Structure 1
Amino acid sequence: MTQSLTLPRPDDMHLHLRDGAMLQGILPETARDFARAIIMPNLVPPVVTAADAIAYRDRILAALPEGMAFEPLMTLYLTEATDPADVAAAHASGLVKAVKLYPAGATTNSHSGVSNFDKVRGVLEKMAEIGLPLCMHGEVTTPSVDIFDREAVFIDTVLDPIRRATPGLRVVMEHITTKQGVDYARAGGDDLAATITTHHLIINRNHILVGGIKPHYYCLPVAKREEHRLALRAAATSGEARFFLGTDSAPHIDALKEHACGCAGCFTATNTMPLLAHVFEEDGALEKLEAFASRNGAAFYRLPVNDAQLTLVKSATPTEWPEKIETGAGPVTVFDPGYPVFWRVQD
């Protein structure tokens, strides 16, 4: 028997589109299902100023295939030289919806990020004043801190002190991966929210390491123990307004993933919505998918819920999607959950 679920067209509140040939190749994979997305600014060079954001938005829209409707929600990359006035003007224009904080060296193209948080105090205070959200990649980069502990340490030593020092600052904890992240988000009040990725609901660290290293499951923050995955699933499927979808879909060509020092990132844009339907149904919370994918993120970013709708259909035969997306930059492997999925997006 066919089942279906119709919801407002979803938003991806954390997305990497890259640039050039990669952008042209992978943008349709998001625009097919999602109405809007918060676009990550970690290009080379990064999107630092309002002028950078305008130029990048224009390149995204130029790459959008005819007949597809998609709105890129632009962000600025926070550096120690970021000008508070430029940030405020970009926000006032309606162009920029958030500022992204990368601790220097935390992930792909993060080397221009922040090392001395005192140097961005003025920007954060201006953002608190105007209500502009700060999206935080929540990991410390101290070499002595174990990679599996870096999120929890970041919460205690960076995030909490910043929030205490900057009352009213609206913060999104990006791609949380731990029970500590879930607990902190829940206790943080109305100015704090958290995104959860598709892949962190499905894999734990065993998927990366058992039976040989699986480079297409390697991401940052790295997947953690099973207890953390279960905490993320409970949060995502709870319907709580502070948790919403941010796929962190991150395309890298296979040659750079299957490499002696492989890139971090899982590419989930192609199949996120069927995978989420599977997860939410498995956890007996299919009716909560609309809140997670279509409503909570829009509410936090003070955006209207999308008028257009998306319908998911479940059938008796497994859904198929491409193993790879061929781009002008090279092939990009689509995330494989490791089990059959019977949900698909209705054409």
Structure 2
Amino acid sequence: MSTTTRLTLRRPDDWHLHLRDDEMLKGILPSTSENFGRAIIMPNLVPPVVSAKDAKAYRERIMAALPEGHDFTPLMTLYLTETTDPQDVAEAAKSGLISAVKLYPAGATTNSQSGVRDFENVSNVLEKMAEIGLPLCVHGEVTDADVDIFDREAVFIDRILDPMRKRFPQLKVVMEHITTKDGVDYAKSGGDNLAATITTHHLIINRNDILVGGIKPHFYCLPVAKREEHRLALVAAATSGSPRFFLGTDSAPHRDERKVCGCGCAGIFTAINTMSCLAHVFENEGALDQLEAFTSLNGPAFYGMAANERTIELVKCDAPVEFPSHIHTGDGSVTVFDPGFPLHWKAINNPS
């Protein structure tokens, strides 16, 4: 076990974040903006963020909700549909308004009904993105009814992702929230135009945590957590220092009545305690020296951005760090992820 009790890291970024909108946005944004410098913002609102005009308006709403004194930059994305205009995408990227486009297979997760059904219908957009170097963020699951939910990531890689990358070899692709050893292995072998994000919760929970002893709705997410062997593969990838892997929390708030019900929503809210959770995981692996690469360096490098200049301190405390069990918003109460063990690492922002 490491004897380290204090770490200084470049300020982290979150390369996959759900902020929602309106009162929920106002309530949960501070949990990210307090410790993170930037975040890739998911566009699956209702209605989704499908155009440059939509992205500009959403960015303005985020900045209006930002607490005074918080230094945070939302990195906007567009929701890829079969009617997306390649020129609108190119102009939004050139202006700096967007940093990526998000691919949801239709029906794969929350608010994905407007996603892609026929991939041939988005080939013109993918071709333009490859030409201009704009990354494609991929929710990597098939939605075929005959494919087991625990196999949907591996099948997506074989049926969709690998053929797509062979057709558009210059396209930069981020495999978001990978959950399997298959995803880890594919990301490792994919070359410089391929990377993968890993969530906080997928480093900590497996499918037993969802199902054993009764269903735990606050551990339900998509992609769903897999077997322990897959969790261990994710931990090994995240703590390896490989530039192919970086943090995307997929922190996804839902008010509690939408989680604890007959058909609960997928999503786990981890924004507020992610850095404490990650420090615990990396310390257990004897890899605290790789935490900065995973949270603060690899993501900016893949996206062609500079790392944050400001730093944070992670301090190991004797007593467990206390986090609220819920975040109370004007849209309802949101349960905070409980990792199942005490957290002793506390994040402290350094002044600019």
TM-score range, shorter chain: over 0.9
Distance 2:140 2:44 in 1: 15
Kindly report which structure 2 residues correspond to 1:54-133, keeping only aligned pairs within 5 A, or say none: 54-133=56-135
Residue 261 of structure 1 pairs with residue 263 of structure 2 = yes
Aligned AA for 1:317?
A: A
Residue of structure 2 equivalent to 1:17: 19
What does residue range 233-312 of structure 1 map to in structure 2 within 5 Å? 233-312=235-314
Name the SS for the 2:292 alignment partner: helix
Question: In the alignment, what sits opposite 1:47?
Answer: 49
Q: Distance in 2 between matches of 1:242 and 1:345?
A: 25
Q: Distance in 1 between matches of 2:141 and 2:161?
A: 10
| 1:173 counterpart residue number | 175
Deviation of the 1:2 alpha carbon? 7.8
> Distance in 2 between the 1:312 and 1:293 partners?
13
Q: 1:167 offset after TM fit, Å?
A: 1.8
Counterpart residue identity of residue 113, structure 1: G
| Secondary structure at 2:242 match in 1 | coil
Runs of 4+ with deviation above 3 angstroms: none
Taking structure 1 as the reference length, the TM-score comes to: 0.99
Give 2:139's aligned residue: 137
TM-score, normalised by the number of residues in structure 2:
0.98
CA contact (8 A) 1:243 1:292 kept: yes
**Partner residue in 2 for 1:155:** 157
> How far apart, CA to CA, are the structure 2 residues paired with 1:346 and 1:66?
17
Please give the alpha-carbon distance, in whole angstroms, between the structure 1 residues aligned to 2:272 and 2:217.
Answer: 18
What is the CA-CA distance between 1:346 and the residue it aligns to?
2.2
Choose from 24, 36, 39 the match for 1:37: 39
* Residue 202 of structure 1: aligned partner: 204
**2:213 is aligned with 1:215:** no
Instruction: Give distance in 1, aligned partners of 2:212 and 2:332.
Output: 28
Give the residue type in structure 1 aligned to 2:100. A
- Give a deviation string over 1:130-166, Cα, whole Å, max 9, x none: 0000000000000110000000000000000100111
Whether the aligned pair in 2 keeps the contact of 1:2 and 1:316 (CA below 8 Å) is no
**1:27-49 deviation line (CA, Å, top 9, x unaligned):** 00000110000000000000000
**C-alpha distance in 1 between matches for 2:267 and 2:226:** 15
- Cα distance in 2 for residues equivalent to 1:192 and 1:181: 11
Counterparts of 1:128 and 1:258, CA distance in 2: 42
- The residue that corresponds to 2:232 in the other structure is 230
Q: Which amino acid aligns with 2:116?
A: V
Describe the SS at the equivalent of 1:38: strand
User: Are the counterparts in 2 of residues 140 and 153 from structure 1 also a CA contact under 8 Å?
Assistant: yes
> Percentage identity across aligned positions?
71
- The one of 5, 8, 31 equivalent to 1:6 is 8
1:26 corresponds to? 28
1:87 is displaced (CA, Å) by 0.3
Summarize the Cα distance change of 1:3–1:49 in structure 2 as closer, same or farther, 3 Å threshold. same
Provide the residue aligned with 1:188 in structure 2.
190
Unpaired segments of 5 or more residues in structure 2? none
Q: Distance in 2 between matches of 1:65 and 1:186?
A: 39
In structure 2, what residue type is equivalent to 1:196? I
Contact 1:2/1:313, CA 8 A, preserved across alignment: no
What is the one-letter code of the residue matched to 1:126? Answer: K
Amino acid corresponding to residue 243 of structure 2 in structure 1: A
* Offset of residue 308 of structure 1: 0.7
8 Å CA contact retained: 1:108, 1:263 = yes
SS at match of 1:72: strand
Equivalent pairs counted in the alignment come to: 347
Q: Distance in 2 between matches of 1:9 and 1:149?
A: 35
Displacement after TM superposition at 1:315 (Å): 1.3
